[in-house]
Structure 1
Amino acid sequence: MKITCVGAGPAGLYFAISAKLRDAGHDITVIERDPPGATYGWGVVYWDNLLDPLYANDAESAQQIRSASTLWQEQQIVLGGSDVGFLGGYGFSVNRSTLLDVLAERATDLGVNIRYEHGVDDLSELADSDLIIGSDGANSKVRSLHEAEFGTRVETGNNPYIWLGTDMVFDRFTFAFEQTSAGWIWFHAYPSSAGISTCIVECTEQTWKALGFDSRDNEDTVRLLEKIFAAPLDGHSLISQSRGQPARWQRFTQVLNRTWLHDNVMLLGDAAHTTHFTIGSGTRLAIMDAVILAQKLHDHEHLDTALRDFDQQGRAALRPLQAAGRTSMAWFERADRYLDRNAADVAYAMAARHGYQPPWQYRVHQASQVSAVRKGLRWYDNGQRWYLACRRGEALGSRADKATTR
């Protein structure tokens, strides 16, 4: 089968890998408008629920991704630079550019042809393809060519946010809220690579305008944010430049489609659906799309049957995740309603933002604010993490398996 993927993000590259692993006879080309290594953002977060399918599908690339990743343990919520609350759990983060490098190299090794710096403005130039994959992100050109057929609906969030880096190394996933004369502003931060962390700054539209971010240039914006977050950043710098481009304020774009399939064109990843960054599922969903579609093509004799099956199953599974993303986005758009509490109670409100919590859960949360209890929970998490790693055949003992927490 001749397959063309438009977009060399996680969805397109991992689909190419997965399809080649199942049938090396597929003729697969991935087309990317940007040059190699030109990607936005800093790091992406993920959990064991991504590592499990990665290792099951392709242990070769999975081990490379895991080795390049950083482990973080616990989440902390910091109010005003000093009041700290805690949430449990652990996760991983990897630089987006590193992730794409690993996937591109693996796809090339398997015989996938990747063509960089080649835009697609008209699908007629791909007419000889049996299957066209639109994996070109939330602002998909492929999708825009047939929006009516896909039934595309795009909704925009209210809060402005900007994706930055910092030379402050966080060992926990950190939410830091600071009150200004114009209102609350906060960041979500987590380690990305050696010596660098990702730092996503967010606030309401009203606060954003009152602080003058709608008219400040990039340098002035970064300097003011460093001043506002001087305490949680411990005097460290914010970094705007990523791959030569300064960061810019944006608003979350939620993409919904009535169908992901039109003729022989299938949408994958953010081109088909987006979920708010506060639930950290975008990369995992893109990769799971890729694996499931590749398996459907392998299982079904007829292409149209495989595509319809994937479209129906994928959209049904995605609905609750997009609902969770909308709920999380709405909580942060109204976060100032909760920020008159202490940090531990803000942490609980954040953890409970997706729905009902039994009364006893708050008592458990209060206990988890005690250092000795958190230490025990970390030991439990470490045991669970090592058990899951052994079960999936992950190589242990590398730098990526170690993390420190205070």
Structure 2
Amino acid sequence: MKIDVVGGGPAGMYFSMLMKKHDPGHRIRIFEQNPMDATYGWGVVFSDVALSFLEKADPVFYKKFIAGHERCDYMEIVHKGVHVQLKNNHFSRASRINLLKTLREECLAQGVEFEFGTRIDNAGKLDGADVIVAADGGNSAIRTQFAQHFQPTIETRRNKFAWYGTRQLFHPVSLIFRETEHGVFMAHSYQYSKELSTFLVEVDPETWRRAGLDTMTDEESRRYCESVFAPELGSNGLLSNRSIWFNANVVSNAKWSHGNIVLLGDALRSVHFSLGSGTRMAMQDAIALQEAFTRNGSNVQAAFADFEGQRRDSSSNFQEAAAKSLDWYENIGEKMGLDPVSFAYDYMRRTGRVSHDDLRERDPDFVASYEAIAAA
């Protein structure tokens, strides 16, 4: 088959690689609007559950994929200056740039073609393709072109975010909550290489305006956030890389395919980064789409229906969990009076997917501490 993939992110490249490995006879082209050497982004996080899917799909590539990852088997919640450790929360972290480089090299080794610096905003430019995979992100131009059919829903959430990096190394995934005179600031931080950590700052819009961040330059915002989190950053500051403030959009679609076009990754469905599962879901979608073609051959419509049948429920369930997680962060002011252990417990239970018994099995010492405080 002739397959054109719009978007050179994890979803589009991983699907292309798997399809080409399964059948080298496919002609697969990836169109990416950014240059090949684009250096946007900091790190990405994978849980052990996410990695197990990738290992099962392609064990050989999996070994290349995890080489150089930073790993840790616990996380920390920092509240009132107290670091609460939560054991048996396994995370693997990698540079987004290296992740894309590894995928690109494997695609090229399999014979996938690339056209960088090429924006496809009209599917008509891809005349002759048997399949068009729209993996062009949350603002997908292909999805917009056929919005009447896909019927996307895009919900803009209220909190403000800015992606930074830092040379301060946060070995565990660390969630830092800091009360200031203007309101509560939050940071999602984790080491993803030997030298760098991601540092995502989150704040509600009222606090953002009271602090004057709505009128600050990018450099002034960076320095302000440095001052808020100075106790954790130590002598290291924040590093900017297109680190402008933004609101998170939650994307879903009533229909997943149209004619010979199928949505994939963030174009199909976004999972908020408070769950750390966006890249995981995108790559699981890629696995499911490739497997659907394996089962249905060149019957494109059957493959699309198979793909949606496999992934629709899990997609909805994850988005439901993400919505609860977002609600927790957006109402953080109600939680700040809790002691550090009870605060961490409330965080772990925020989506309704982790029970008290689940926590006890994962970290009995932490649950014992919480139960002692609750009893008192």
Superposition map of 1:92-241 within 5 A: 92-241=92-241
Asked if structure 1 preserves the Cα contact closer than 8 Å seen for 2:42 and 2:165, the reply is yes
Q: RMSD of aligned C-alpha atoms?
A: 1.9
Q: How far, CA to CA, are the matches of 1:358 and 1:23 in structure 2?
A: 43
Q: How far, CA to CA, are the matches of 1:361 and 1:307 in structure 2?
A: 36
Q: Give the superposition deviation at 1:121.
A: 2.2
Q: How far, CA to CA, are the matches of 1:358 and 1:123 in structure 2?
A: 46
The match for 1:263 among 247, 259, 280 is 259
Aligned to 1:367: 365
Asked if structure 2 preserves the Cα contact closer than 8 Å seen for 1:134 and 1:267, the reply is yes
Q: Give the superposition deviation at 1:344.
A: 1.2
The match for 1:339 among 327, 336, 339 is 336
Aligned to 2:373: none
Aligned to 1:286: 282
Deviates more, 1:57-66 or 1:328-337: 57-66
TM-score, with length taken from structure 2 = 0.93
Confirm whether residue 306 of structure 1 aligns to residue 322 of structure 2: no
Deviates more, 1:34-43 or 1:123-132: 34-43
Asked if structure 2 preserves the Cα contact closer than 8 Å seen for 1:161 and 1:249, the reply is yes
Aligned to 1:395: none
Q: Which fold has the larger relative contact order, with Cα–Cα distance below 8 Å and residues 6 or more apart in sequence?
A: 1
Name the aligned partner's letter for residue 365 of structure 2: A
Aligned to 2:372: none
Q: How far, CA to CA, are the matches of 2:353 and 2:91 in structure 1?
A: 24
Per-residue CA deviations over 1:63-95 (Å, capped at 9, x if unaligned) read: 122112100231111124x32222221211111
Q: How far, CA to CA, are the matches of 1:359 and 1:247 in structure 2?
A: 38
Residues 121 and 224 (structure 1 numbering): CA distance in 2 closer, same or farther, change over 3 Å?
Answer: same
Asked if structure 1 preserves the Cα contact closer than 8 Å seen for 2:321 and 2:352, the reply is no
Q: How far, CA to CA, are the matches of 1:274 and 1:332 in structure 2?
A: 17
Aligned to 1:53: 53
Name the aligned partner's letter for residue 134 of structure 2: G
Residues 61 and 272 (structure 1 numbering): CA distance in 2 closer, same or farther, change over 3 Å?
Answer: same
Q: How far, CA to CA, are the matches of 1:327 and 1:6 in structure 2?
A: 31
Confirm whether residue 252 of structure 1 aligns to residue 252 of structure 2: no
Q: How far, CA to CA, are the matches of 2:353 and 2:250 in structure 1?
A: 25
Residues 159 and 292 (structure 1 numbering): CA distance in 2 closer, same or farther, change over 3 Å?
Answer: same
Displaced runs of 4+ in structure 1, greater than 3 A? Answer: 356-366
Asked if structure 2 preserves the Cα contact closer than 8 Å seen for 1:33 and 1:119, the reply is yes
3-state DSSP class of the match of 1:49? helix
3-state DSSP class of the match of 1:160? strand
Per-residue CA deviations over 1:348-403 (Å, capped at 9, x if unaligned) read: 010011128766778886832899xxxxxxxxxxxxxxxxxxxxxxxxxxxxxxxx
Confirm whether residue 318 of structure 1 aligns to residue 324 of structure 2: no
Aligned to 1:381: none
Aligned to 1:394: none
Residues 252 and 305 (structure 1 numbering): CA distance in 2 closer, same or farther, change over 3 Å?
Answer: same
- Paired residue total: 366
3-state DSSP class of the match of 1:318? helix
3-state DSSP class of the match of 1:349? helix
Name the aligned partner's letter for residue 246 of structure 2: Q
Residues 141 and 86 (structure 1 numbering): CA distance in 2 closer, same or farther, change over 3 Å?
Answer: same
Q: How far, CA to CA, are the matches of 2:313 and 2:229 in structure 1?
A: 41
Residues 359 and 144 (structure 1 numbering): CA distance in 2 closer, same or farther, change over 3 Å?
Answer: closer
TM-score, with length taken from structure 1 = 0.86
